[in-house]
Structure 1
Amino acid sequence: MSDDLLNLRNRHLPTENQELQQQLETLVAQARLNEQVMRRFQDAELRMLGVSSFKELLQYVLQEMKETFDLDVVTLAVIDPEYEVRRMLIDIGIPANEYPGLMCLDNPSRFHRLCGTSLAPVLGQYNVASRAPFFPRDTPPASIAILPMVRQKKLIGSLNLGSRNEARFAPGMATDFIGRLAAILGVCLENVTNSERLKHLGLTDPLTGVHNRRYFDQRLQEEVSRAQRQRFPLSCLFLDIDHFKQVNDQYGHQTGDCVLREVAWRIKGQLRSIDVLGRYGGEEFAVLLVQTDMASALTIAERIRHSIAEQRFKGEGDETLAATLSIGVATLHDCNRTQNAETLAQQLVARADQGLYRAKQGGRNCVMVVMPESDKASSVEVR
């Protein structure tokens, strides 16, 4: 090699070294960034796999995930043709408006129109016509990713991500990480749904199909605590079928079971989805009326009493028979946050039970309320 060429190469070596150094630094920075991204996704997967309830999963996906991945919108769409998920939310005490990012869809037709039969992830610009069902209309994102969740070759819903950055999700971008995240979420959603289903079976009275005492006691504590936090009234009804032993003795236990089932469903028919009905034991039922003051509770109790007394019951055979209810009512007003929630719950139930006792003593087929201040009972009575 000539001296001129050698000198020329030597002059270029610092520049080449600098360029190589810059390339190496860029690769190292990218590798570190990829490692951070991978760790973030792994942490998210572990977090979802570690949840133990449907509510905890919703809390993470719809609230915490936005911060974790710097997103502006996260929603979860669930295929729910049999209303199972919506009933589950009611059963576990989650109001419909608590998680506006959760959407329960009756059928998967919207997904198939958007994703095709392959159900591949959809990335790109937000489009009102086709993508609005998956995102809030009042604050639509600029770019979105709709990630179908499939379990056992069946579409169960989608994880939907949105950003105000138009370049965040673009067609053709790699979807390995977010696709895997949606797959893990599908597994977790199936697991918590099955878990809640088993819990529901353990908290349901097999004869009447309404909740049992264990479930009622759990919800009682929750609703008293919520009433304390939000300072709204909470009312409790105790209901007992009058002379039920005579029904069993005269018509048989099968007819008695028919009456119990029908009474349970007539009571339920007078309640809202946020109210709590439980079979407390034998022929006795208990109801929690959420955000309900005493005047409204008395109106509902009288409506329930009337629905039982004014329509005869059909037995196991061709016989028809009449039945009535005695009902005790109690209400918590302006709950003090410093008071013990368990003590307040016990006092509420005790007053409702006392009202029921006085209704029985007062001739049955009537409603009596026990006031917390004076412990005196008043009655609303229809013979």
Structure 2
Amino acid sequence: MEDLLETFRINEEIAQKFFEIEISILSIHNFRDLFEKLLTEIREKFGVPYVWISMIDQSEVSDLIKTLESSKALKERLNVIDKDAFLNLIANETQPILISGDLKPYYQLLPQGQMYFIRSLAIAPLTLDGEIIGSLNQADLSRLRYRPGMDTRLLERLAVKVSICLSNVTAHEKLKWFAWRDPLTGLLNRRVMEKVLQREYKRAVRYKTNLTVAFLDLDDFKAVNDRYGHDRGDDLLRYVAGALEELTRDSDVVSRYAGDEFVIILPGISTKESLLLIQRLQDYFHKNPMDVEEEHMPVSVSFGLSSMGDAGVKNPQSLLKKADEMLYSAKEQKKKDDFASA
């Protein structure tokens, strides 16, 4: 009888811990806090040495997570995995899976660059709108911690609650993402860019560093729309946006200003140094035209640069205006050159 009561007491304590974790995450509205709270609570309340999240690549949640500035702790406990590889591991199962012994097939679930010394594993699949998007994973060095046949009802209930939270957080993050981003290209929109420029300008003044703004404009964009249609024009804008993000530094801020105009904020470098970046961009577009209907569409951009030391630059607004004026001058000069060579 005493053994039965002791077992009942232990089960009650476990259930209470699961309940406390569920309560702690229900009101969270962003991925970073949700995952950090969830993983930390499980580790601390249950003494689980290894707790992490796996997300299927190119799922709605994984794409949103990639746009966020996640914490270092989260990056170390987040694994993004190919969909087919993940579903093969769990056999498309929505119930928790317990594995003990040979875990080599499951090593692909581990966060990249992390070394986990584990001998038993619990995988609780997570869903969004009825579709499997990843899993909550717990592992231990002991083979006995997670064994096939153990009761997983509480873990299953927690996975359901986490899935509900993911649905709520995803909806919230999507609203926030669209408030910050240009919906066509995914780049920062003009409003956010202007706020970033103010921040970077103040920082440059405070630390006496340089700051340059590049204003870019696609050449003959109207002709592209007229010849190929607006859908192809949109494709071109996305193509250019992708190249700008790929070829700039991590510290640079790329945004879509309006129409076919883009602004790049370049902290810490002068106009002369920025010219090297622009030349690299122009070389890339020259060598990599966009393929459209079995044709190679040439891509050409004009640009204007302005740095904090330029005449007339007194604040973020005048820095941006100066770059715009330099862009206009470059466009006018290009027209004259084209006319002269005609």
TM-score (norm 1): 0.63
Q: Offset at 1:321?
A: 9.4
Q: 1:199-252, CA deviations, whole angstroms, 9 ceiling, x for partnerless residues?
A: 333444345554422343566689899x99xx9x996533143898xx769x97
What secondary structure, in the 3-state scheme, does the structure 2 residue paired with 1:357 have? helix
Q: Offset at 1:260?
A: 7.4
Alignment of 1:151-300 (within 5 A): 151=128, 153-206=130-183, 210-217=187-194, 237-241=213-217, 262-263=236-237, 265-272=239-246, 274=250, 276-288=253-265, 293-294=269-270, 297-300=274-277
Q: 1:256-303, CA deviations, whole angstroms, 9 ceiling, x for partnerless residues?
A: 99667635632431423955432223553222458x755764422332
Q: Distance in 2 between matches of 1:257 and 1:120?
A: 43
Matched, 1:133 2:101: no
- Identify unmatched segments of 5+ residues in structure 1: 1-19, 332-345, 367-383
Q: Distance in 1 between matches of 2:158 and 2:97?
A: 15
Matched, 1:122 2:97: yes
8 Å contact kept, 1:108–1:155:
no
Matched, 1:103 2:71: no
| Alignment-derived partner of residue 125 in structure 2 | 148
Matched, 1:53 2:30: yes
Q: Distance in 2 between matches of 1:194 and 1:280?
A: 26
8 Å contact kept, 1:237–1:330:
yes
Change (3 A) 1:264 1:219: farther
Q: Distance in 2 between matches of 1:142 and 1:312?
A: 52
Q: Offset at 1:99?
A: 0.9
8 Å contact kept, 2:200–2:211:
no
| Alignment-derived partner of residue 8 in structure 1 | none
| Alignment-derived partner of residue 357 in structure 1 | 325
Q: Distance in 1 between matches of 2:47 and 2:317?
A: 46
Amino acid of the structure 2 residue aligned with 1:37:
I
What secondary structure, in the 3-state scheme, does the structure 2 residue paired with 1:104 have? strand
8 Å contact kept, 1:210–1:264:
no
Q: Distance in 2 between matches of 1:39 and 1:111?
A: 32
| Alignment-derived partner of residue 9 in structure 1 | none
Larger radius of gyration: 1
Number of aligned pairs?
317
Q: Distance in 2 between matches of 1:145 and 1:152?
A: 23
Q: Distance in 2 between matches of 1:223 and 1:88?
A: 25
Change (3 A) 1:307 1:165: closer
- Identify unmatched segments of 5+ residues in structure 2: 309-313, 335-342
Amino acid of the structure 2 residue aligned with 1:351:
L
Q: Offset at 1:190?
A: 2.7
Q: 1:52-106, CA deviations, whole angstroms, 9 ceiling, x for partnerless residues?
A: 11222232234454223322111211223x3644442343344899613222222
Q: Distance in 2 between matches of 1:170 and 1:223?
A: 54
Alignment of 1:86-97 (within 5 A): 86-94=62-70
Q: Offset at 1:311?
A: 8.8
1:302 alignment partner, one of 279, 289, 294: 279
Amino acid of the structure 2 residue aligned with 1:89:
I
Q: Distance in 1 between matches of 2:141 and 2:231?
A: 58
TM-score (norm 2): 0.69
Amino acid of the structure 2 residue aligned with 1:133:
Q
- Of all paired residues, the percent bearing the same amino acid is 22
Q: Distance in 2 between matches of 1:129 and 1:65?
A: 24
Change (3 A) 1:34 1:224: farther
Amino acid of the structure 1 residue aligned with 2:67:
D
